């Protein structure tokens, strides 16, 4: 992926638009991260009004989007759902037809739905709009409980910050986990969040707890090669297993077992990228025990094999000899 077009139109949401700019538009070559040719485009170049009363000046029309490796669609106001400029819909359909990446943030999924590229696919949007999307686009399998969905080369995300999760997910596939972690560190955000939108629906935000769980998670990450159990982690947090599991899910959006499995995958990605260890050794280091279990987890989570992942991302940030 080398070129990225971000489509904006009147009524665009500044935060979600900024997420795309932050993820793909900044020059991070000093961190070894590839630089993308990122351009903001519009059906009509010139002044484009945001939904918050200010405008930006867009210099380029949609021509660049017809060639871009990634087309990002920013959300639009509810009153415009189903009434997108036909020129934008043509760009979306073209991107899908030629196998480019398509990424929508929040209600941007309604644009993809209107273009018809989500028919027969699984997708998501902000949980507040999931029922509306299901009603408007009955051929789309709308999942309201996840932060983002990838179906083929189309990625749809839930509201606001979930757009950043989706962008980082795409970056992991294009530049690898190690470089994506560097991008996340620069943003001061976690490189990968667990859990889905369900944790945010009609519930108060979790009350901040003591740092006991941070101590436990830090220790667990440093001991992934061990056979870790909920009882062990609860003991380190000085809680009963039941209390620990409940509080852990409230704060991390996932069960301890699911969180551990994800951390082991992330560690395996790093070792595949940055070491020449064999699959059996990597499996042991990450706590999977065997190469067979490592392969099963890679296929389940990343839809690829460790060998294929290594072939694509090994030493991706090393300077050419």
Q: Delimit the CATH 1.10.10.60 region(s) of the chain.
A: 204-321
204-321 — its CATH code? Answer: 1.10.10.60
CA atoms within 13 A on the CB side of 94: 16
| Per-residue model confidence (pLDDT) at position 195 | 57
Tell me the pLDDT band of 204, cut-offs 50, 70 and 90. very low
72-106 tens-digit pLDDT: 998 888 877 878 899 999 999 999 999 999 999 99
Pairing of strands 148-151, 141-142: unpaired
CATH 3.40.50.880 domain extents, the chain: 3-187
Cα(318)–Cα(225) distance, integer angstroms: 27
**Which of 125, 12, 24 minimizes the C-alpha distance to 69?**
24
**CATH 3.40.50.880 correct for 3-187:** yes
pLDDT above 70: residue 316: no
- Please state whether beta strands 141-142 and 46-49 pair in parallel, antiparallel, or not at all (unpaired): unpaired
CA distance 289 to 296: 12
Q: What is the pLDDT of residue 212?
A: 62
Average pLDDT for 1-7: 97
Spatial CA neighbour of 170 closest among 142, 137, 186, 147: 147
List Cβ<8 Å contacts ≥24 apart for 179-186. 179/31, 179/32, 179/33, 179/34, 179/316, 179/317, 181/270, 182/28, 182/31, 182/32, 182/33, 183/23, 183/28, 183/31, 183/33, 186/28, 186/31
Tell me the mean pLDDT in the region 269-285.
92
Burial, 83: exposed, middle or buried (Cβ in 10 Å; 0-12, 13-18, 19+)? exposed
What is the distance between the alpha carbons of residues 4 and 8, in angstroms, rounded to a whole number? 13
């Amino acid at each position: 992926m080398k070129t990225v077009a971000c489509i904006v139109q009147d009524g665009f949401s500044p935060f979600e638009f900024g997420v795309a700019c932050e993820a793909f538009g900044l020059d991070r070559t000093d961190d070894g991260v590839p630089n993308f040719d990122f351009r903001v485009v519009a059906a009509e170049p010139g002044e484009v009004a945001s939904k918050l009363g200010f405008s930006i000046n867009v210099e380029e029309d949609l021509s660049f989007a017809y060639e871009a490796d990634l087309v990002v669609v920013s959300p639009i106001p509810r009153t415009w759902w189903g009434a997108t400029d036909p020129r934008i819909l043509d760009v979306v359909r073209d991107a899908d037809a030629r196998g480019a990446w398509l990424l929508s943030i929040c209600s941007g999924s309604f644009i993809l739905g209107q273009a018809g590229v989500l028919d027969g696919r699984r997708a998501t949007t902000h949980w507040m709009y999931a029922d509306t999307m299901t009603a408007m686009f009955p051929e789309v399998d709308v999942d309201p409980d996840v932060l983002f969905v990838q179906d083929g080369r189309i990625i749809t995300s839930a509201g606001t910050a979930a757009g950043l999760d989706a962008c980082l997910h795409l970056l992991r596939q294009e530049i690898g986990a190690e470089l994506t972690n560097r991008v996340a560190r620069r943003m001061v955000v976690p490189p990968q969040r667990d859990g889905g939108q369900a944790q945010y629906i009609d519930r108060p935000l979790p009350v901040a707890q003591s740092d006991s769980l941070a101590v436990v998670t830090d220790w667990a990450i440093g001991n992934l090669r061990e056979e870790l159990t909920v009882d062990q982690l609860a003991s380190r947090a000085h809680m009963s297993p039941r209390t620990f599991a409940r509080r852990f899910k409230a704060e991390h959006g996932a069960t301890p077992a699911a969180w551990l499995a994800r951390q082991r995958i992330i560690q395996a990605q790093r070792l595949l990228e940055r070491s020449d260890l064999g699959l059996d050794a990597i499996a042991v280091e990450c706590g999977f025990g065997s190469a067979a279990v490592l392969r099963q987890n890679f296929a389940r989570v990343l839809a690829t094999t460790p060998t294929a992942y290594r072939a694509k991302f090994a030493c991706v940030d090393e300077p050419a000899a």
